[in-house]
Structure 1
């Protein structure tokens, strides 16, 4: 069901203008009614019970997330047969409801985003129990949804396309969680996929493609881990940083490959007190803080151990070494092939799920070779 279809159902029943508790939409199939009620009705209860505990503290939000997870699994949604389409419809409906009720404050939006992460975790767990892959793709059609899927703990394959909002997919796979493959494309907003795999978490393949205003800092940081991060053709104006705090604070990022992004600032805090390697093949904006006419396209730097190794970006000899390192990496890892497939998702007769599984296969095969 698309956003417009969801909106028609909700509007016909004055759904978006009522209090969430007790909503019983008419004129829809019994199963649709059950799913709408089952997924939307708990929000009042969750807001009443947990909203006062939501603030800027990461560990506090993670604790609230764990408590909601337990309530949904053991009681509230125990008998609800949740599907990926149900989850998509719920996201569209929540976006419409917020428009009808007026703007929610930052803590309400944060808790709502955490709730969507709980739903995705529950669906993923049930897929795994049924020996099925949990491949989730959604084109948001440009809707605004702050903190969507934030704090999701375990992700098989997730791709979000064409959303707007702050903190989308933030802090996924953290606190001993695991992200196998996370892809964001055409996302407009700050802090997209920030700190993926951080805080003793784990992330495999993390891709950001054609996003705007993105500042994906802290990936694999705080005793966490991220294997491969691909950042492709994103716009980072006004000090947007590449690799900021990636692998920092005893974390580790095997490779942060930044390709064809438009940037005007390079992070000075790559792997602060941690470990990471970053290769950049980027377009430096005219109003840049890099001040390097020799840089052109390619540079790389790395930080291993407790102290960062800093390089003179004007050094042409170093630039040659950077290009060699770039060629070496892409000869071992099919980055371009994977990014072509990311572009194909949503623009092909092939199903998004099939393409995403192919991306996952390429990633896994490259890991075996290396």
Structure 2
């Protein structure tokens, strides 16, 4: 299964080493980011409040347009983004200042992606944080191709990517320590192909993927520790083709609250769960319209195979079989 999942990642180069080739360029990127943080932190909406989260669409657009203008004569590439991230890693900003810095990093990634697209090139940003911290890295980035982040510490890394009509191809977080990694990707009319979390420790990993009229083809979590991982996906007319959880331990409420809300419910084609341990797994997941198929193996103390199918114009069919280990 995993061989097929990672076929699209074959041929991608390893993470960028930090090499300061042009100190003056990096200094300009850092200086521009500092000015953006100072200017916009106080006016930033609160993404944790629903009404204000919806205002993030306009706020991000405003900041992005300003970054695009300020960086119009700065020619930077993936290596320069890696150097910028290292330069600002383990910063002492908190609250909205830290979030705006994260948004700025997302604007840089999007700007590079769109510049490369004009030349017919795809953009792969592959960074190894080597244990450094960077909360909100690439926060709310609207347009990305492939981003792979490894060995970072930080909360809400790659959160809200591809939202508000945006898009991203492949988002990978590997070896991350922090909560809400890959939170709410491909939501609010956005589209994401694959969102993948591997060896992530922290609650709410991949939570709310493909919600609010958003779309995600595949949501995959492997070796996760933390409550509510892969939960609340495909809500409010959202759609996720496939949700896969493998080896989720020491936690509760994983794969819960998926496709809830009878009015405005979303949909999922398939859920696969393997070696999920903890209470509340699949709690309140699904409604009478939600699923076409889901399967389980080694769920808690049981081996289960389960399907839940909707037949057009007829009542749902439900089958369940299992044996205790």
The DSSP-based 3-state class of the residue aligned with 1:160 is strand
Deviation at 1:264, TM superposition (A): 3.3
Partner of 2:259: 271
1:188-199 map, 5 Å: 188-199=177-188
Alpha-carbon distance in 2 for matches of 1:294, 1:105: 38
The DSSP-based 3-state class of the residue aligned with 2:105 is helix
**Contact in 2 for aligned 1:194/1:218 (Cα 8 Å):** yes
TM-score, normalised to structure 1, is: 0.68
**Contact in 2 for aligned 1:180/1:205 (Cα 8 Å):** yes
1:244 aligns with 2:231: yes
Structure 2 CA distance for partners of 1:294 and 1:145, relative to 1, 3 Å: closer
**Contact in 2 for aligned 1:278/1:301 (Cα 8 Å):** no
More strand by share: 2
1:92 aligns with 2:103: no
Q: CA RMSD in A?
A: 2.9
Alpha-carbon distance in 2 for matches of 1:195, 1:304: 26
Larger radius of gyration: 1
Deviation at 1:50, TM superposition (A): 1.2
1:255 aligns with 2:242: yes
Unmatched 5+ stretches in structure 2: 1-15, 47-51, 284-297
1:169 aligns with 2:158: yes
Unmatched 5+ stretches in structure 1: 7-30, 321-370
**Contact in 1 for aligned 2:273/2:299 (Cα 8 Å):** no
Deviation at 1:299, TM superposition (A): 5.3
Deviation at 1:268, TM superposition (A): 3.7
**Contact in 2 for aligned 1:174/1:199 (Cα 8 Å):** yes
The DSSP-based 3-state class of the residue aligned with 2:38 is helix
Structure 2 CA distance for partners of 1:293 and 1:66, relative to 1, 3 Å: closer
Select the residue among 210, 214, 227 that pairs with 2:217.
227
**Contact in 1 for aligned 2:167/2:190 (Cα 8 Å):** yes
Structure 2 CA distance for partners of 1:303 and 1:95, relative to 1, 3 Å: farther
The DSSP-based 3-state class of the residue aligned with 2:57 is helix
Task: Tell me how many residue pairs correspond in the alignment.
Answer: 278
Partner of 1:147: 136
1:44 aligns with 2:34: yes
Partner of 2:11: none
1:184 aligns with 2:173: yes
More helix by share: 1
Alpha-carbon distance in 1 for matches of 2:146, 2:25: 23
1:58 aligns with 2:53: yes
Deviation at 1:245, TM superposition (A): 1.2
1:89-128 map, 5 Å: 89-95=83-89, 98=91, 103-128=92-117
1:281 aligns with 2:271: no
Structure 2 CA distance for partners of 1:121 and 1:299, relative to 1, 3 Å: farther
The DSSP-based 3-state class of the residue aligned with 2:80 is helix
